[in-house]
Amino acid sequence: MSLEPGIRRQAEQYVRPLYAGLDGVQTFGQVERLRARIAAVRGEAAVDEDLLDLLLLFQGVVDRLGSLAPGGRLDLFLKGLGLADDLARRVRTGLGRLREDPRGPEEELVHDALLLESAGVVATAERLMAAGKKRTPVARALAQLDPGPAAERYRTPRAGALGAERRREAEAWIEELRRKVAED
């Protein structure tokens, strides 16, 4: 990613505390995992590196940023970094739609990386553990367990193929768990 190091450092310092949950758990590590997922599916896609990096940094804290409208806290921060008005606008609008209606290669890459983050055996195991924290009985949790997003939700072909593979692995893992629980 090519965001000027000083600007990237300031943006990261701004968002890092926002990634801390109420329980004190720091989730900023997701940014680096998403960065790796993007690298795996990007290919030769031409992208605005600055936009991609800013979307990646801010995607996990959108709900804590307040309004994404012009003049909001995020807008003031982005302008304070010295970013061009057009780039600040593209970051704000991209953050508002990248999970449901991504447009452009940068938004699509972050969207697909987020979907990949929620696919596969590890993500499925995390959902099972979350159900356990809610004291959901194992058999019921397994019956409702989601193996991850379907391939058609991805916007890039590489992510769709990788997501489909991860979903198949999660489905097999869920079936094996269901079989073992039924045996007990």
The whole-number pLDDT of residue 67 equals 83
Three-state SS string over 59-71 comes to HHHHHHCCCCCCC
Residues 12 and 94 in one domain: yes
Q: How far apart are CA 55 and CA 105, in angstroms?
A: 12
- pLDDT tens profile 8-59: 888 888 888 888 876 666 788 889 999 999 999 988 888 999 999 999 999 9
Residues 50 and 127 in one domain: no
> Within 13 A of 48's CA, how many CA atoms are on the CB side?
15
pLDDT of 124 strictly over 70: yes
The whole-number pLDDT of residue 115 equals 96
Domain containing 149 equals 121-183
The whole-number pLDDT of residue 22 equals 65
- The residue type of 34 is L
SS3 163: helix
Residues 58 and 20 in one domain: yes
The whole-number pLDDT of residue 43 equals 84
- pLDDT tens profile 136-155: 888 888 888 989 999 999 99
Looking at the domain assignment, is residue 31 inside a domain? yes
Residues 55 and 99 in one domain: yes
Residues 135 and 68 in one domain: no
The whole-number pLDDT of residue 38 equals 95
pLDDT of 171 strictly over 90: yes
CB atoms within 10 A of CB 1: 14
Residues 128 and 152 in one domain: yes
Looking at the domain assignment, is residue 78 inside a domain? yes
Q: How far apart are CA 136 and CA 157, in angstroms?
A: 36
Looking at the domain assignment, is residue 10 inside a domain? yes
* Cβ–Cβ < 8 Å for 88, 75: yes
Q: How many domains does one find in the chain?
A: 2
Residues 37 and 61 in one domain: yes
The whole-number pLDDT of residue 24 equals 64
The whole-number pLDDT of residue 25 equals 66
- The residue type of 81 is L
Q: How far apart are CA 17 and CA 134, in angstroms?
A: 27
The whole-number pLDDT of residue 107 equals 96
